[in-house]
Amino acid sequence: MYAWLRSFLFLLPAELAHSVAFVALRCLMALPLISSLVRWWLCPRDPLLRVSALGLTFPSPLGLAAGFDKNAVGYSALSGLGFGFIEVGTVTAQPQPGNPKPRLFRLSKDRALINRMGFNNHGAAQMRGRLLGPRAAVVGVNLGKTKVVPEEQAAADYESSARELVEVSDYLVVNVSSPNTPGLRNLQSVTKLRPILLAVQNIVRNSARKPALLVKIAPDLEDADVDAVADLALELKLAGVIATNTTIARDGLSTASEQVAACGIGGLSGPVLKARALAVLKRVRLRVGEKLEVIAVGGIEDANDAWERLQAGASLIQVYTGFIYGGPLFAYRINQELARRVRELGLASLRDLRPRD
C-alpha cells in the first residue's frame, strides 16, 4: 500500500511531499483510537531490543535522525511508528527561513536524497515550549549555528541554544557537520570545535537535568581529522559521537550525472553513503573504545544494515532517508528482524554484538 502512496507523494516536489505526509501523520495520531492501535501494533516492547546508553533506556536501538522533525512538532506521532528515540532539529538560537526553495531533491534510482535546507527552523525558544512537560518518547535535540552569526561568535550561539533547551532535552547534539550552512564544517577542526563544546558542556553541567552531550561529524572528514575529533570527545568526556552526517561527494550514483548536477549543491544521503559511514563508525569506535557511545547513521536501509552497524560497535542507530523510501512500517520491520536475530543467537542483549577488540 505504501508503494502506491509513495508513487503519489513522489509526484509532488520533495519538500511539499514531506510536509503533506508529516501533517497527515500528526492528524491521524491525534485521534486517540488510531494512535492507541498504531502504538500497540508498531511500538517495540521486546526486552531484547532495549538498550541502556547515555544514561537513558531506549525501547529499541533504532531512532529517527535530525532533519525530519525540525521544530519538535511531531515527535510524539513519530515515536508511535516504532522508533526507539527521536532527534529533533536542527535548531538554531535564532529563527531562520533556511535556503531558497527548491532545496530538497530525490534521486529515486539511488533511493537517495540531496538537501540544502539550511537549518530552516522556528528557533530554540519556540522548541523549548514544545518540549515542556512529560512525554513517552526519548527526544534528543540537535543544535546548529545560526547562519547570520559569524564564526568567531559560534560558541556563544550554540551556548544560547543549549541554555534554552538543556532542561527539556534527553540528550544534546552539537552539529558542526551539515554542508548547508556556509563555513559550518570549518568548525569541525579541533581548535574551533573545542570552545563550542566547552560552552555547551558548561550549560549542561550547571543544569538540573544534565542531558548527555554528543558531537555529530561529517563523513567527508579525513581519517586523521576523525581521530582528532574522537580524541577531543574523549578529552572533554563527552557522552558520545554521531557518525555521520550527509556527504558532499557524488561518487557511486546510478542517477544520470545531468540530473545530479541539476540538483545543485547540498548534502547527499542514502545507500551511497553506507560504506564511508560504516568506515567512520568503525574508526571512531576503535579510537574511543568503550568510553563513549557511538550513534551510527548514514545509508541504513534495512535490518542487515542495522545489524552490521551494531556489530561494528554502534550503541544506537539512526535513519532518515531509508524511512522516506521505506514508509511507516520501516522501523517496525527492522525491530522485528533485530529481535529475531538476537533471539536466534541466544544473546542476552544487543550489546553482545559489539566488537571485543
For residue 240, how many other CB atoms are within 10 A of its CB? 24
Are residues 63 and 85 in contact, defined by beta-carbon separation less than 8 angstroms? yes
Note down pLDDT in tens along the chain; length 357 residues: 666 777 888 889 999 999 999 999 999 999 999 999 999 999 999 999 999 999 999 999 999 999 999 999 999 999 999 999 999 999 999 999 999 999 999 999 999 999 999 999 999 999 999 999 888 899 999 999 999 999 899 999 999 999 999 999 999 999 987 776 766 677 778 889 999 999 999 999 999 999 999 999 999 999 999 999 999 999 999 999 999 999 999 999 999 999 999 999 999 999 999 999 999 999 999 999 999 999 999 999 999 999 999 999 999 999 999 999 999 999 999 999 999 999 999 988 888 887 755
Is 351 among the domain residues?
A: no
CATH of residue 76: 3.20.20.70
- Structural domain includes residue 322: yes
Phi and psi dihedrals of 89, rounded to 5?
105, -165
Cα 13 to the chain's mean position, in Å? 23
Residue 106 lies in a domain: yes
Burial of residue 289 (number of CB atoms within 10 Å: 0-12, 13-18, 19+): exposed
Note whether residue 51 is domain-resident: yes
Domain count, the chain: 1
Q: Which residues pair with 217 in a beta bridge?
A: 243
In a domain, 99, yes or no: yes
User: pTM, whole model, 2 decimals?
Assistant: 0.95
3-state secondary structure of 318: strand
Q: Which of 178, 189, 254, 257 is catalytic?
A: 178
Q: Is residue 349 part of a domain?
A: no
Among 126, 159, 167, 122, residue whose Cα is nearest residue 143: 159
Cα of 3 vs its chain's centroid, Å: 24
User: How many residues are given for the chain?
Assistant: 357
Residue 36 lies in a domain: yes
Does the annotation mark 178 as catalytic? Answer: yes
What Å distances lie between residue 156 and 130, 152, 172, 195, CA to CA? 23, 9, 16, 9
Range of the domain at 189: 2-344
Would you say residue 354 lies in a domain? no
Which whole-number Å values give the CA distances from 356 to 177, 238, 290, 312, 353, in the listed order?
29, 22, 10, 10, 9
